[in-house]
Amino acid sequence: MFILFGLKTVEHPLPGRPATCQRCGRVCHHGLEERATRLTLFLIPVFTTSRSYRIMCSNCGTVNTLTRRQKNSLSV
Ligand SMILES: [Zn+2]
């Protein structure tokens, strides 16, 4: 008998918002993305082990990571 397990990272785009970029200083749309790492058992996702959020400037492409609290304060 064997057990097949692994980790799988899934990315979900979330609705972004216009904001001022910290790098280029322009007011433009910032895309928000959720990355969830899930434990898989026989290639079936069982539960989420970690979750992170990233925000990306659509003008210069600068990516910053956000905490869950920062992400929740953005999506009012
Ligand atoms: Zn920028």
Mean pLDDT rounded to a whole number for the chain: 92
pLDDT tens digits, 33-49? 999 999 999 999 999 99
Look at residue 8 in the predicted model and tell me its pLDDT. 95
Neighbours of ion ligand 1 (CB under 5 A): 21, 23-24, 57, 59-60, 62
Mean pLDDT of 48-71: 93
CA of 28 to the centre of ligand 1 (A): 8
For residue 37, give Cα distances in angstroms to 6, 45, 58, 63.
10, 10, 25, 19
CA of 31 to the centre of ligand 1 (A): 11
Mean pLDDT of 43-70: 94
Look at residue 74 in the predicted model and tell me its pLDDT. 80
Range of the domain at 11: 5-74
Q: Closest by alpha carbon to 66, among 14, 27, 28?
A: 14
pLDDT tens digits, 9-23? 999 999 889 999 999
CA of 55 to the centre of ligand 1 (A): 11
CA of 16 to the centre of ligand 1 (A): 14
Number of domains in the chain: 1
